[in-house]
């Protein structure tokens, strides 16, 4: 099977061999369908009538993705749809979802050392004057250091490795992940020399 086709009148291009047909009973396949057929996907299967509203055909860049009903865990949302609109009561800077997710993924037995890590890291942080970093943003929550974020200690702090964070964001992140590594460079903030 050759992938390079050249024609004296056109430049060399890379394109797959695509099965084509000259008879009306065999359909012409495009490259996307060929991959699906090679993977054993039955392109002739249809969506059950009752599920048509639940699993409508999915299009990306003008191509239909066949059999999205076989993967209900994949949810594609069209840009600008009502699902992407923020609820009126949501705060765009609310990071609680992130910390809740970390809490779910960290086993309880690892959380026992959180107080020790918290104390070890807070003793190593350097408090920075807001005026020095007013034009910068916390890389954790993307809020300006001079911005007031409800429920978060917005005091700018510098880690032993030199990165700036809001103290509340950094400490919540460390509590959730159960290690004393800088979220930016992953260096251990307890053992790193100042």
Give the start-to-end residue ranges of the domains of the chain.
4-70, 96-177
User: Strands (DSSP E) along the chain, which ranges?
Assistant: 4-7, 10-14, 58-60, 63-65, 126-127, 156-158, 164-166
Q: How far apart are CA 49 and CA 56, in angstroms?
A: 11
Q: What is the CATH number of domain 96-177?
A: 3.30.40
Q: How many CA atoms lie within 13 A of 132 on its CB side?
A: 8
Q: How many residues does the chain have?
A: 194
One DSSP character per residue, 16-50 reads ------SSTTS----HHHHHHHHTT--TT----GG
**How many alpha carbons fall within 13 Å on the CB side of residue 82?**
0
Does pTM surpass 0.75?
A: no
Cβ-contact 1, 17 below 8 angstroms: yes
The set of residues, in sequence order, having a beta carbon less than 8 Å from that of 41 and lying 6+ positions away, is 66, 67
Reference 139, options 98, 105, 111; nearest CA is 98
Q: Which two tokens stand for residue 52?
A: 């048509």
Residue 137 CA, distance from chain mean position:
20
Q: What is the pLDDT along the chain (194 residues), one digit of tens a residue?
A: 444 443 444 444 344 444 444 444 555 544 456 666 666 666 555 545 444 444 455 555 555 555 555 555 555 555 554 544 555 555 555 655 555 555 555 555 455 456 677 777 788 888 888 888 877 888 888 888 777 777 777 788 988 888 898 888 888 887 777 677 888 888 887 777 55
CA–CA gap between residue 113 and residue 106 (Å, rounded) = 12
């Amino acid at each position: 099977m050759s992938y390079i086709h050249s024609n004296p009148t056109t430049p060399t291009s890379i394109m797959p061999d695509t099965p084509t047909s000259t008879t009306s009973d065999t359909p012409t396949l495009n490259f996307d369908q060929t991959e699906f057929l090679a993977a054993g996907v039955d392109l002739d299967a249809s969506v059950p009538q009752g599920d048509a509203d639940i699993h409508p055909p999915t299009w990306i860049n003008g191509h239909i993705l066949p059999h999205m009903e076989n993967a209900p865990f994949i949810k594609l949302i069209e840009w600008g749809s009502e699902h992407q609109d923020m609820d009126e009561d949501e705060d765009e800077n609310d990071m609680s979802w992130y910390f809740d997710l970390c809490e779910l993924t960290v086993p309880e037995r690892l959380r026992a050392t959180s107080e020790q890590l918290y104390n070890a890291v807070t003793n190593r942080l350097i408090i920075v004057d807001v005026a020095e970093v007013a034009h910068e943003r916390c890389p954790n929550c993307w809020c300006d250091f001079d911005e007031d974020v409800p429920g978060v200690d917005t005091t700018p702090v510098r880690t032993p490795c030199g990165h700036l964070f809001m103290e509340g964001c950094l400490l919540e992140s460390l509590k959730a992940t159960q290690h004393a590594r800088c979220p930016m460079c992953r260096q251990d903030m307890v053992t790193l020399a100042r």
